[in-house]
Chains A and B, each alone.
Chain A
């Protein structure tokens, strides 16, 4: 899953670095606030652990062995933020010193494994483990499934990144310049191995580590990681507006920048409307973007039928009551961001059992 240099176009790499940097920044600020002077030794040693755990060979049913990334175990014990930093540092050392994974693709590898993997593992673990007791076997199952889900989401993201390369990056003769397989090949090829063997390796390691810690060191499986909780008692978390202000400012800036999308020419590949199949100009664009394969002459029947099932309130990011397209984009961005925030607030309220959430009680 470590994507080497040369598999992704530099623009894809740049986008994924751009996505990863705010997560690194946010995670670093959050962990630093929680740990203060403990930050350096904890992250250094935890990253070394993540590196070493990636070298463990786990025997799998069928006579094979597999390597785990260890992101499930790291997210359960360290929490998602420290986990994404530790796994990122381990990946950086792997890339620089051991040539496993590329330098240009480092952002992509971190986004797939460290960032998405840690967040997925954390949420799956929290959702399944719920409020069960520390020695409960439910926690072992939760950790195992968290590791399995995390590695498969990481694999899916990797497959998508590889699969979009031949759609966008070809030379004049139509030769793919980077990873040559389209999504319909990349996704099954990647997921087959990860849904089975690699997923199982992660499942066994995450579940096994939690099962072992339940017996020997249950403090590490507390609601808050023991290493951070002590520091948190001395250095209480400063949540609220002040802590999140930089993130809110960035979100606002990004919303204001959304009209840049208007500058992009053409339609995104695969996002055509049913009417586009009968528009000669759109047909030309679809043909050019699909490796000179002409689309069907008539609207695909299923597409025509299903496209009428749901009418978007803001079609093409242009609310009907707004005339200026740039303002429509900003309105759509605000509406979408509001919906996402609302969904997360609702989720937080549900997982907290209907009680108001308290920032100081949140797991780091």
Chain B
């Protein structure tokens, strides 16, 4: 939540970079979803039923070896789904490792247990339990994040949302999620334009107080635009005959291949659940 930046990048540039990152991430996911890989071929509803248990079992497992095996399974899935491992490393593993690594590092010294070694100069004691605690946290977070990202990268977003109905998510929520996702990009573009126009008018550097005022005023403008937009969208929907009912076209078809893959995933999940008790 906190980012310390060098003086060379102000808040405006950082915010612009965040917007561009989000848009780039979404476009990249759409590209991967069009590949002809294993997960891309799978029916989205069965994909949810296949991957969600693996995420839960990665969180449930009480053996490091089982979590590591699930991680290897995720790697195999990535390769069969033509998701470059370098992409996973850059977009998932390094980020999770940096975040979770920093969090779990003190656990090496703070967790009581059998002493493994002590750091030479400071004399801090690393315990076996501390090492295992850090390994649990990092492996679990990496494995769950890899499965989640594989699911999202290999499924077009509109199909992800429709597939959520298999989890009994109410239809109206599916429609709201779909519209939210679409309007995120509109608001991102609006916000991006606001910040770009602000930057184009800036000469020299703004001090912290002025930057804060600019950022909060932009948030206020965006809030006003959001409310206006919601009223406009509502009127547009009403003018097209919207009376509160929502419909989603379900064009999913399952084949023997989908069920065979679901069976395979279920067997992996059951084995991991059994061995990871």
Minimum CB–CB distance for A113 against chain B, Å: 11
A90 within 8 A of B: yes
Task: Chain B residues near A7: list those with CB within 8 A.
Answer: 137, 140-141
Task: Chain B residues near A53: list those with CB within 8 A.
Answer: 219, 222
Task: Chain A residues near B230: list those with CB within 8 A.
Answer: 38, 41-42, 44-46, 227
A179 within 8 A of B: yes
A99 in contact with B215 (CB, 8 Å): no
Task: Chain B residues near A43: list those with CB within 8 A.
Answer: 176, 180
**Closest 9 A/B residue pairs (Cβ):** A208-B216, A212-B220, A6-B140, A5-B144, A44-B179, A48-B183, A180-B107, A180-B133, A41-B233
Please provide the chain B residues from 157 to 188 with a CB less than 8 Å away from any CB of chain A in the complex: 157, 160, 172-173, 175-177, 179-184, 186-188
Please provide the chain A residues from 209 to 224 with a CB less than 8 Å away from any CB of chain B in the complex: 209, 211-213, 216-217, 220
Please provide the chain B residues from 1 to 54 with a CB less than 8 Å away from any CB of chain A in the complex: 1-5, 7, 10-11, 14-15, 18-19, 22, 25-26, 29, 52
Sample of 20 more A-B contacts, CB < 8 Å, known A41-B230, A57-B215 = A5-B59, A7-B140, A10-B56, A44-B182, A46-B226, A48-B187, A57-B11, A59-B212, A60-B212, A93-B180, A98-B22, A98-B25, A99-B152, A175-B136, A179-B103, A181-B107, A204-B216, A209-B219, A213-B223, A291-B112
B180 in contact with A90 (CB, 8 Å): yes
**Chain A residue with the shortest CB-CB distance to B26:** A97
B229 in contact with A45 (CB, 8 Å): yes
A55 within 8 A of B: yes
A201 in contact with B1 (CB, 8 Å): yes
Q: List 10 A-B contacts (CB under 8 A).
A: A6-B58, A52-B188, A52-B191, A57-B215, A67-B2, A175-B113, A176-B133, A180-B104, A180-B107, A209-B220
A37 in contact with B211 given A209-B216, A217-B224 (CB within 8 Å): no
Task: Chain B residues near A10: list those with CB within 8 A.
Answer: 56, 59-60
Question: What residues make up the interface of B, taking CB atoms closer than 8 Å to A?
Answer: 1-5, 7, 10-11, 14-15, 18-19, 22, 25-26, 29, 52, 55-56, 58-60, 62, 91-92, 95-96, 99-100, 103-104, 106-107, 110-113, 128-130, 132-134, 136-137, 139-141, 143-145, 148-149, 152, 157, 160, 172-173, 175-177, 179-184, 186-188, 191, 208, 211-213, 215-224, 226-227, 229-231, 233-234, 237-238, 242-244, 246
Task: Chain A residues near B180: list those with CB within 8 A.
Answer: 43-45, 47-48, 51, 89-90, 93
Chain B interface helix/strand/loop/mixed: helix
Minimum CB–CB distance for B11 against chain A, Å: 4
| Most chain A CB neighbours (cut-off 10 Å) among B134, B160, B233 | B233
| Most chain B CB neighbours (cut-off 10 Å) among A59, A174, A209 | A59
A180 in contact with B111 given A44-B183, A93-B180, A193-B2 (CB within 8 Å): yes
**Chain A residue with the shortest CB-CB distance to B136:** A177
Chain A interface helix/strand/loop/mixed: helix
**Chain B residue with the shortest CB-CB distance to A1:** B1
Expressed in whole angstroms, the Cα–Cα distance for A46 and B228 within the complex equals 11
Minimum CB–CB distance for A152 against chain B, Å: 13
Minimum CB–CB distance for B101 against chain A, Å: 12
Please provide the chain A residues from 97 to 153 with a CB less than 8 Å away from any CB of chain B in the complex: 97-99, 102-104
Expressed in whole angstroms, the Cα–Cα distance for A56 and B192 within the complex equals 11
A171 in contact with B107 (CB, 8 Å): no
Residue from A48, A180, A185 within 8 A of B134 (CB atoms) = A180
Task: Chain B residues near A319: list those with CB within 8 A.
Answer: none
Task: Chain A residues near B187: list those with CB within 8 A.
Answer: 45, 48-49, 51-52
Expressed in whole angstroms, the Cα–Cα distance for A227 and B136 within the complex equals 47
A96 in contact with B179 (CB, 8 Å): no
Task: Chain B residues near A227: list those with CB within 8 A.
Answer: 227, 230-231
A55 in contact with B19 (CB, 8 Å): yes
Minimum CB–CB distance for B200 against chain A, Å: 18
Expressed in whole angstroms, the Cα–Cα distance for A180 and B104 within the complex equals 7
B111 in contact with A56 (CB, 8 Å): no
